[in-house]
Structure 1
Amino acid sequence: MADDTADQADDSGLLLAAEECPRDEFEKYHSFAKYERAIIQRIIAHGPVLLRGGRGSGKSALLIESFLQMKRDYASSVLPVYISLRRLPLLRTEGTEYQGHLCEILSMEIHKELRRTELGTFPITKDVGALLQALEENARVLNRRIVLLFDDAAHIGRERPLEDFFDIFRTISTSRISCKASIYPGVTKFGLRFDVFNDATVIDISRDERKDDFHEIFVEITRKRFPQIAKKVVSSRSLDELSFGKIMGRAVTGNLRSFVFACNLMQENAAIGFNELTRCLLELSANYFWPLLDEVAPKLGSYEVLVPPSEQVAHLIFTACARRGATYVLVHRDIMQRQSKIFEILEYTGFISKREASRAMKSGGRGVVYSVNLCNLLEMTVGRRLTSELASQWTRTTEEAYELRYTNNEFAKIEIPAPALDERDLAILSKPISILKKSPTYPYGLTEDKVERLENAGLTTIKDVAEAEDNTILAINMVGKASLKRIKDVVYQAIWM
C-alpha cells in the first residue's frame, strides 16, 4: 500500500486550522501578538476560562500554544492535556449518554498524555464522579496541577448538549484541576448549574482594528509563513508592511484564517500593490465569504432555514455601508433580541465582527456595533477598486456607523422563517463525500482520486467517513497515514468549522 500525498503538496501553505498543524511545526507557522501572549498567560494560570471567538479567530492556536508552553516551561508543576471535542458521538447525543461519551474521551486523552510523559496511567471511565476522583488522585500523587484544554466545545448547529458539557466543566473544576474551553460568540445555553459570570473567566479574542498594535500579527505572519509576499511588500512603490498589515487585517475583520487564505491567493503575484489587493479582496468576496454561507448551511440543524435571510441581511448591510462610506454597522437591540441568530451566522462566517455590545444610536435607543469585512464592502462600492485614498479612509479608527433598525424598509421586506422547534440532525452528515472535492465552498477539499477511492470502498457519505475506523480507511489502496490525516481533517472541517 502506497501513500499518495500529491493532493497535499498543492495545499502546503493552506494550513487553515491550527489543530491540523503538526505539533513539531506549530511554532514555524504561528505567531502571537503581545496581547495574545497575555491571554496565553491567563489560560495557563489557575481557574476556569472560556475562550470566546468566531470561526478562524485563533481560539485553537491559543489553546495549543498554551499547551505547548506549559509542557515546555512548567513541566514540573503542571500536567496539561489538550482535548479536541470534534467527535461525532458528542454531536448526536445528550444527557447521560453525552456525559458518558465526554468522560470516556477525556479519560482516554488524559491516559494518553500520562503515557507519553511516562507519568503513569489513567482509568477509562464514563462516570463523572469516578473521573473527578481519578483526576484529584493523579494531581495529588504527581504533585501537579492538571490543566484540561477543551477545544471546539461548542457547535453552532447543535446547542442542546452544551448544558451537559458545562455541567461537567463546572463539576471537575477544582483547586487542582483547571478547565479551559473554546466557544463561539453565540453560545448562550450554559445550563442551570453553570453561572458564566461566576464559574469561569470569559475572554473575547476578536482582533480589534482600533488597537494600535492591530497590524503587528498580520505583518509577523506574512514574514513567517509567506516570506515572498513580505519581500514584495517591502519593495512595493505603494505599500509598506504597516499599510499592508492594516488594510489586509482590516479587510478580514482581524480573522487569521481568512488572512492566510488571502495570502495564498497572492503568492503567485509578481508584485504587491493596490491593483493586486483589489483583485484579492474581490476574489475573497466572491469565492470565499459568500460560499461560506453555502458551507455552513448544512451544519446548522434547525437553523439552516436562516441562511437565505442571512445572505439578504448581509447584502443590505454591505450595500448601505458602501453607499455611506461606513465600515461599521450599528444594529438596534430590538433586532438583536428577535433575530440574534442571523447576526451570529454572519459573525461565524466572517462577514461581520462584534466590537461593542451596546452603543447609543443617533435616532434613539441602543444597539450592537459590528465591524464589516472590506472584501464584501469593496464588491458593493462604486468602481470596485481599492485605492490608497480609500484604504486610508477605511483604516482610520473613526467609527461612523450605518444604523439598522426595524423600521428600515429593506429589512422589513426580508422574510425570516422561524427555526424548527426540535433540534434536527445535521444535514451535513448525510451529504455525499463528493461535495468535499476542491471548490470555492471547500477550498481545502479532497482530490477526485481520493473521493473515488472512498466511494469504491463503500464510504459514500460524510457520516460514513467520520464514523469509519482508521484501519478501514488505511486498508484502501493508495491511502497511507498522511492521506488518512488529510481525509479526516477535511471531514472534520466540513462538520465543525
Structure 2
Amino acid sequence: MRLQAEIVYRTEDIPTEDILNLLVETETDRSMIDSLKGRSPVILKGSRGVGKSFLMRAAEAEIRRDFGSQKILPVYVTFAQASLIRQNTPDSFLIWMMAKLCSSILRAASTFGLKLPGGSAITAIQGTAAIGNYSEMEKVKDIFESSWKQEKQEELPVAVPVPEVLRDAVEDLCRHTNIKRVVLFVDEAAHVFIPEQQRQFFTLMRDLRSPYLTVKAAVYPGATSYGYAFQPTHDATVLSVDRQVTDPEYASAMRSIVYKQDGSLKKQIEPNGDVFDTLAYAASGNPRILLKTLLMRSPFNRRSTQETIREYYREEIWGEHSNLADRFPGHRELIDWGRTFIEESVLPALHARNVGRTSQTSSYFWIHRDAPRAVREALRLLCYSGIVQEGDSGMRATRGEIGTRYMVNLGCLFAQDAEPIKFGQNVRKHLYVKRMVEYGANHPAYRPIDEFSLDAVNSGGNLALEAQLERSISHLDVTEFQRSKLDELGFRTIGEVLKSDEEAFKRAYYVGTKRARQMRNAAVTAVLEYLSG
C-alpha cells in the first residue's frame, strides 16, 4: 500500500495560482528566484526532479503578481516537445523555436491586456491573419510538433522571422506599452540528447539578448552542448540547483516541502522523524525522489522505509539510468560503464570506508583531471540521472594532483548496507566533504572505455523514437490513479497516449473536463520526459 496523500511531484501538475503557496524558501532558493527575475540571462542547471521548473514558475508567479508596479512581462514556455521534431531540414528546429517563442510572447501580451503596436517587426512575429482558432505562428509550431507522425511535413502557412526581427518586435512592444522588459523562461531548453539542436538554442539565446528581452533557460547537467558561439560563463549566469545535504537547514526544508503539499502527513512523519530525515538525505536534495519514495509504502515507519530504500536505490533509480541506453543508442557503452563503475567500484569503497566510523563519513569520490574523456562523459550522464552530483573542479587530492570531486547519491550508498536506516543515520550525521575515494588518471577501472570513441555520442538524434512510441505505458512515470485511468481507457502504448485528446480521457469514470485536461497534461508530460530521457 501507499500513503494516501494529495501530493504531486511534478510542477506541471500544480496550478499556477498554487505555486507560491507551495514554495519552501531557503536562502539559496530566494537568491535563484531573484536572479531569474533579474536583467541578466540565466542558465539554471540541475538533474531531473530537483526543482528547476518550480523555481522558474515561482519567479514567473512573482513577476505576474507585481506586474502592475514593476511593468515586467513574464513569458513561460517549455521545449519538452523538442523530442518530437523531425529534422526535415537543418533549420527545422530553429524555425520551430522561433514560431513557439513568437506565439508565446503574443499570448502573454494578450493575457495582460497589452495592445500590440503596428510596424513591420510586430507584423512579422504575429502573421497577417488567423487560421481558425490559431495564429499563423501557432500553426507553424503545431506543424513541427506533429511531424513525428507524418510522412511528409505540411507546408508552412507563413515565413518565420529571424531572431533580430523578434528582438526588434519585443523592443517595439515594450516602448509602445510602457513595459520595462520581457523575461522569457524557457523550461526544458536542452531536454534532448541532440547536440545540434542544443547548439542552435544557445546561439539563439545569445542572439536574442537585448535591454528589452532576457532569456532564462533550464538545462540538465551532463547532457548539454553549448557550441562555440555561446560561452556559459560569459553569456549568462550559471546557477546549479543542488540542495546541499551539508546545510544545517536541509532536513527541515525537505520536511516543509512535504507538509506544504499535505499537512496531514505530519501524523505519520513526526513520530518517525529520524527515519524521515534519513529518507530525505537519501534523496540527496531531490524533492521529486523524496516524494516518490515517501509514497511507496504505508504505513510510514522504520521497516517500510528500509524496504523502500533497498527497492528504490538498488533497483529503480538504476533501471531509470540504464533505460537511457534504449532511447539513446550512441550513449549505451557510456551508460553501462558508468553504472558498473559506481556499483562495483565507488559504492563498495565508500561503504567500506564508512562502516563503523563515528566521524568524517563520506559519500564523495575524486576523478583526476587527466582521466579519459569518456570517463568524464559517463559521469556527466550519471549527473543527468541524479545518481551523481558534480562538485568542485580544480580540487587537490592527497598527492597534490588536480581533479574534480563528485558526490554519489546518498540513497545508493545507504542501500549498500544490511541496515540502511542505521547506516544512513550515522553517515549523514558525520558527513565530511573533504574525505574522498580517489581515482587517478590511469585507474584500472577506466580500461573498459579507454578506447571508446565519442563520435557516436555527438552525431545523429533520437534514433529510437518510433520504437519508444510502441512501448508499454508501464514505462511512464505517472501516479497510480493516472495509471489506472490509462488502463481503464484502453491505452496500451506510449504513442496512443500522445495521440489522444481530452475527449478521450473524459470517457473514464469520474473524469470531467478539468480532470481530463490535468490527466492528459500529466500523461503527455510523462511521455515527453520519457522520450527525451
- How does the TM-score come out when normalised to structure 1? 0.85
Q: Secondary structure at the match of 2:393?
A: strand
State the distance in 1 between where 2:55 and 2:192 align: 20
> Which of 123, 126, 147 in structure 1 is aligned with 2:126?
123
- Match for residue 317 of structure 1 among 330, 346, 350: 346
Aligned to 2:14: 21
Quote the residue 2:176 is aligned against.
Answer: 141
Identify the range of structure 1 (19-28 vs 54-63) with the bigger mean alpha-carbon deviation.
19-28
**Is 1:394–2:434 an aligned residue pair?**
no
Aligned to 2:460: 423
8 Å CA contact retained: 1:298, 1:428: no
Work out the number of aligned pairs and report it.
Answer: 472
1:244-278 Cα shifts (integer Å, max 9, x gaps)? 44x33331221111111122125x22x534x4432
* 1:118-166 residue CA offsets vs partner (Å, 9 max, x unmatched): 2235615521233222111111112111110000000252221112111
Work out whether 1:81 is the aligned partner of 2:75: yes
Large movers: runs of 4+ above 6 Å: 9-12, 474-479
Paired residues of 2:282 and 2:414 also in contact (CA < 8 A): no
Q: Secondary structure at the match of 2:189?
A: coil
When structure 1 is superposed on structure 2, of 45-54 and 155-164 the one drifting more is 155-164
1:103 Cα offset (Å)? 0.8
Alignment of 1:161-240 (within 5 A): 161-186=197-222, 189-236=225-272, 239=273
Q: Partners of 2:4 and 2:289 in 1: how far apart?
A: 15
The one of 53, 57, 64 equivalent to 1:60 is: 53
Report the AA paired with residue 496 of structure 1. S
Q: Report the secondary structure of 2:25's partner residue.
A: coil
The whole-number CA distance in structure 2 between the counterparts of 1:73 and 1:336 is: 50
Maintained 8 Å contact 2:222/2:379: no
Q: Which amino acid is 1:348 matched to?
A: Y
Structure 2 CA distance, aligned partners of 1:338 and 1:22?
42
**Cα distance in 2 for residues equivalent to 1:106 and 1:113:** 11
Query: Contact 2:83–2:531 at 8 Å: present in 1 too?
Result: no
Distance of 2:293 and 2:507 partners within structure 1 = 34
Q: Supply the AA of the counterpart residue of 2:425.
A: A
Please, which runs of 5 or more residues in structure 1 have no aligned partner?
A: 1-8
Q: Would you say the 8 A contact 1:330–1:370 is kept in 2?
A: yes
The answer as to 2:342 corresponding to 1:349 is: no
Question: Kindly, what percent of the aligned residue pairs are identical?
Answer: 20
Deviation track 1:149-204 (CA, whole Å, cap 9, x = no partner) reads: 00000025222111211121111111111111111122553233322222111111
* 1:407-446 equivalences in 2 (<5 Å): 407-413=442-448, 417-419=452-454, 420=456, 422-437=459-474, 442=477, 444=479
- The equivalent residue for 1:263 is 294
Residue aligned with 1:16, SS: coil
What is the CA–CA distance in structure 1 between the aligned matches of 2:464 and 2:431, rounded to whole Å? 41
Distance 2:372 2:12 in 1: 32
SS in 2 for 1:119: coil
Q: CA RMSD in A?
A: 3.1
Distance 1:376 1:321 in 2: 11
- TM-score normalised according to structure 2 size: 0.80
1:420-453: CA deviation from partner (whole Å, max 9, x where unpaired):
253132424422454222x6x7464863763585
2:375 partner letter: Q
**The 10-residue stretch of structure 1 (42-51 or 401-410) with the greater mean CA deviation from structure 2:** 401-410
Whether contact under 8 Å (2:3, 2:294) holds in the other structure is no
Deviations 1:354-393 (A, max 9, x none): 2212211114522211111222212323x34421x75133
Amino acid at match of 2:25: F
Shift in alpha-carbon separation, 1:28–1:262, aligned structure 2, 3 A: farther
Matches within 5 A, 1:20-59: 20-59=13-52
Conserved 8 A contact 2:489-2:505: no
Instruction: Give the CA deviation at 1:21.
Output: 2.1
CA contact (8 A) 2:364 2:407 kept: yes
Unmatched 5+ residue regions in structure 2? 117-124, 128-136, 138-159, 355-361
Counterparts of 1:298 and 1:10, CA distance in 2: 32
Provide closer, same or farther for how the CA distance between residues 385 and 219 of structure 1 changes in structure 2, counting only shifts above 3 A: closer
- Do 1:95 and 1:161's aligned partners in 2 also have CA atoms closer than 8 Å? no
